[in-house]
């Protein structure tokens, strides 16, 4: 494995406003980020461990993995899901209950030009250059401002995971190590990680894996999962 690929994924512990977070930074120019849901036989991968083994059988090493956007009880994505340019779940703009529908919600997506997080209504579903996309909610940071529903004095705390974009080539994936409010979580992305746009992925069920450094299995099974991979080292001749 090239050293540059190893350095494309960095893990650090960040303390902000009295809470600790695991932060994984991904350089999209030096590595490959993909979204997974089902294997070629149509079976759910279900867990990062299953995905990791499947990748290894195909000569790929997982450098980082986490759950993608929210999913339904039948383990189908709640909204938009694009893998390798193929739309497997449609954009969901309906109103409803729960965190996914705490509007505005949003989409994290990757094109050949880089990564973005946008409010769902701003996502161009006809964009042919989208390589992957996952929809979730609520948005945490919108153009440098916290979601309007977040309250500094909120009592609703939970383990939380999310994704923010520092630049088109730098992504921050975050898992809180203790229970935090949405306001605290969004403030981390905006004030400590310099993300002008960030999206909530999920709560206490979230999983985070940097093999050999941090493995938090979370809840299984999942629907979509995001993973950074690299080809395994070839044996010496």
pLDDT of residue 102: 95
CA distance 204 to 184: 16
pLDDT of residue 46: 86
pTM, to two decimals? 0.93
Share of the chain above pLDDT 90, in %: 76
Give tens-digit pLDDT for 115-148.
999 999 999 865 668 999 999 999 999 999 999 9
Which DSSP string corresponds to 83-128?
Answer: ETTEEEE-------SSGGGSSS-EEEEEETTEEEEEEGGG--TT-T
Average pLDDT, integer, range 150-174: 97
Work out the mean pLDDT of the chain and round it to a whole number. Answer: 91
Q: What angle do CA 104, 110, 114 make, to 5 degrees?
A: 110
């Amino acid at each position: 494995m090239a050293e540059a690929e190893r350095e494309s994924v960095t893990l650090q512990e960040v303390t902000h406003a009295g809470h600790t977070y695991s932060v994984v930074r991904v350089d999209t120019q030096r590595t490959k980020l993909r979204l997974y849901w089902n294997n070629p036989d149509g079976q759910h991968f279900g867990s990062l461990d299953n995905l990791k083994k499947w990748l290894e059988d195909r000569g790929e090493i997982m450098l980082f993995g986490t759950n993608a956007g929210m999913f339904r009880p039948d383990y189908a994505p709640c909204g938009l899901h694009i893998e390798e340019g193929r739309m497997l779940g449609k954009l969901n703009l309906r109103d409803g209950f729960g965190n996914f529908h705490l509007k505005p919600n949003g989409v994290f997506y990757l094109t050949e030009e880089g990564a973005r997080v946008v409010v769902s209504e701003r996502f161009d579903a006809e964009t042919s250059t989208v390589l992957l996309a996952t929809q979730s909610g609520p948005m945490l940071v919108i153009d440098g401002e916290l979601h309007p529903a977040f309250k500094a004095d909120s009592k609703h705390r939970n383990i939380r995971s999310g994704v923010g974009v520092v630049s088109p080539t730098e992504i921050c994936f975050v898992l809180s190590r203790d229970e935090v409010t949405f306001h605290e979580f969004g403030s981390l992305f905006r004030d400590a990680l310099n993300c002008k746009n960030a999206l909530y992925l999920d709560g206490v069920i979230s999983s985070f894996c940097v093999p050999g450094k941090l493995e938090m299995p979370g809840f299984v099974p999942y629907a979509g999962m995001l993973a950074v991979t690299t080809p395994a080292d070839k044996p010496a001749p």
